[in-house]
Amino acid sequence: MTDGKNPDQVLRFILSGGGTGGHIYPAIAIANELKKRHPNAEFLFVGAKDRMEMEKVPQAGYKIEGLWISGLQRKLTLKNLMFPIKLISSLFKAGKIVSKFKPHAVVGTGGFASGPLLKVASGRGIPCVLQEQNSYAGITNKLLKDKVAKICVAYDGMEAFFPSDKIVKTGNPVRGDLVTKGKDKKEALDFFGLQADQPTLLVLGGSLGARRVNQLIAQKLDYFKDLGIQLIWQCGKLYFEEYKKFNSENVKVLDFLNRMDHAYTASDFIISRAGASSVSELCIVGKPVLFIPSPNVAEDHQTKNAMALVNEDAAIMVKEKDLDERFEGVFSGMFGSKEKQEKLGLNIKKLAMPNATASIVDEIEKLVAE
């Protein structure tokens, strides 16, 4: 596909999303699909300086430019006083990036940097697409809703945040390697140095980590040992120094999982936060999941994400405030019942939207072709 005017023109795309893996990996998945369809296309990512996208995007093979931008804090701080200066700086640099790269379309997946970039691009008449992963829209995407051409969402009811005529329900992009790689369980277990004759629990706290989840796992290591369970424990980079002491033959403590395909394939059970991207991936993976939603998010949307699966008997959930009282009983109920495990695995798989990335790219292509 070209822009419809010059059949030999090379398409150029800018993608912006970051701060957490939940914003970064959807952007990378979209870029990969665009690249598959348009091998000669040019890509540029725009992120926030000093955030994880500056490392993860180059690892995925794409160039990235960083803006000097951060979010507003809830209380009066020096960072808040700097925000107007950072915003002006970021708008200026975003303008220079857009002028130099001349994109045919711009895609924002959330995060601080996407705000200035899409504001500039949309103001210049460049087609822009938002991808909102959560059931409760992020502040950056809400601010951009009137400026973009399309908004791709994963949940029903998003008319509460966005113009209904711009909404397309596509689902959330997931990493392609979850479906196409890592199917050999022995190879996956060998990768982590784990045994094939023991059940494996995968613990996911998000890219930065989850304090309460890590505290729980540390407290329950003897409980898991008594059950004969070995662990792949992704504790997050913020907590790795604190928890690496628990690394052993049967407990693999990692700050980050660069081979999620192996982690998912090796696991028999999963404990996870209920961020939108995690939920979408876990539906495709199709393993029994216990969600521990973060209570520290807007409108408690992780609990809503998890309940959408719990109500379909596709997952189980324990709230943070109930962990001390309920965790062992709930987990043991799942661990001790093969029938329950099979039902959870089958039901969560039914909720998967594996074609989400392709559907989003379809929308981008329509705009470029106009």
Same domain (yes/no): 314, 186: yes
Predicted confidence at residue 2, as pLDDT, reads 47
Q: Is 77 part of any known ligand binding site? A: no
- The encoded tokens of residue 118 equal 């899409």
- Triad 344, 345, 351: Cα angle to 5°: 90
Kindly calculate the radius of gyration of the chain based on its CA atoms and give it in whole angstroms.
21
Sorted by sequence, the CB contacts under 8 Å of residue 89 that are 6+ apart come out as 67, 68, 69
Predicted confidence at residue 311, as pLDDT, reads 92
Predicted confidence (pLDDT) at residue 155 exceeds the cutoff of 90: no
Q: Is 258 part of any known ligand binding site? A: no
- The verdict on residue 2 lying in a domain is no
Same domain (yes/no): 23, 37: yes
Q: What is the pLDDT of residues 195-207, one digit of tens each?
A: 999 999 999 987 6
Predicted confidence (pLDDT) at residue 251 exceeds the cutoff of 50: yes
- The verdict on residue 1 lying in a domain is no
Same domain (yes/no): 237, 283: yes
Predicted confidence (pLDDT) at residue 180 exceeds the cutoff of 70: no
Same domain (yes/no): 28, 167: yes
Flag the least confident range among 158-162, 218-222, 297-301.
Answer: 297-301
Which residue has better confidence, 229 or 209? 229
Residue 228 CA to residue 250 CA, distance in Å, equals 9
Average pLDDT for residues 104-116, to the nearest whole number? 91
SS3 call for 251: strand
Same domain (yes/no): 251, 144: no
Average pLDDT for residues 301-324, to the nearest whole number? 94
Residue 78 CA to residue 19 CA, distance in Å, equals 20
Predicted confidence at residue 291, as pLDDT, reads 98
Q: Is 182 part of any known ligand binding site? A: no
Domain that holds residue 238: 177-350
Residue 334 CA to residue 337 CA, distance in Å, equals 6
Sorted by sequence, the CB contacts under 8 Å of residue 15 that are 6+ apart come out as 27, 28, 30, 31, 43, 44, 45, 46, 106, 107, 108, 109
Q: How confident is residue 179, by pLDDT bands cut at 50, 70 and 90?
A: low
Q: What is the pLDDT of residues 3-24, one digit of tens each?
A: 444 555 799 999 998 877 778 9
Residue ranges in 76-125 assigned as alpha helix (H): 78-101, 114-123
For residue 44, the 8-state DSSP code is: E
Q: Which of 217, 3, 195 is nearest to 102 (CA)?
A: 3
- The verdict on residue 318 lying in a domain is yes
Average pLDDT for residues 20-30, to the nearest whole number? 87
Q: What is the pLDDT of residues 326-358, one digit of tens each?
A: 999 999 999 999 999 999 999 999 988 889 999
Residue 66 CA to residue 48 CA, distance in Å, equals 5
Predicted confidence (pLDDT) at residue 39 exceeds the cutoff of 50: yes
Q: Is 114 part of any known ligand binding site? A: no
Distance in Å from the first CA to the final CA of the chain:
11
Q: What is the CATH number of the domain that holds 225?
A: 3.40.50.2000
Predicted confidence (pLDDT) at residue 104 exceeds the cutoff of 50: yes
Same domain (yes/no): 292, 362: no
Predicted confidence (pLDDT) at residue 181 exceeds the cutoff of 60: no
Predicted confidence (pLDDT) at residue 177 exceeds the cutoff of 50: yes
Within 10 angstroms of residue 142's Cβ, the number of other Cβ atoms is 14
Predicted confidence at residue 134, as pLDDT, reads 85
Same domain (yes/no): 261, 361: no
Q: How confident is residue 81, by pLDDT bands cut at 50, 70 and 90?
A: low
Strand order of the β-sheet with 289-291 is 251-254, 230-234, 200-204, 269-272, 289-291, 316-317
Q: How confident is residue 86, by pLDDT bands cut at 50, 70 and 90?
A: confident
For residue 181, the 8-state DSSP code is: S
Which residue has better confidence, 183 or 153? 153
Average pLDDT for residues 114-121, to the nearest whole number? 93
Q: Is 302 part of any known ligand binding site? A: yes
Q: What is the pLDDT of residues 259-292, one digit of tens each?
A: 888 999 999 999 999 988 889 999 999 999 999 9
Q: Is 134 part of any known ligand binding site? A: yes
Predicted confidence at residue 213, as pLDDT, reads 97
Q: Is 95 part of any known ligand binding site? A: no
Predicted confidence at residue 262, as pLDDT, reads 92
Predicted confidence at residue 258, as pLDDT, reads 86
SS3 call for 52: coil
Contact (Cβ atoms closer than 8 angstroms) between residue 344 and residue 313: yes
Count of domains forming the chain: 2
Mean pLDDT for all residues in the chain? 90
Same domain (yes/no): 185, 259: yes
* Residue at 252: amino acid letter: K
Same domain (yes/no): 132, 182: no
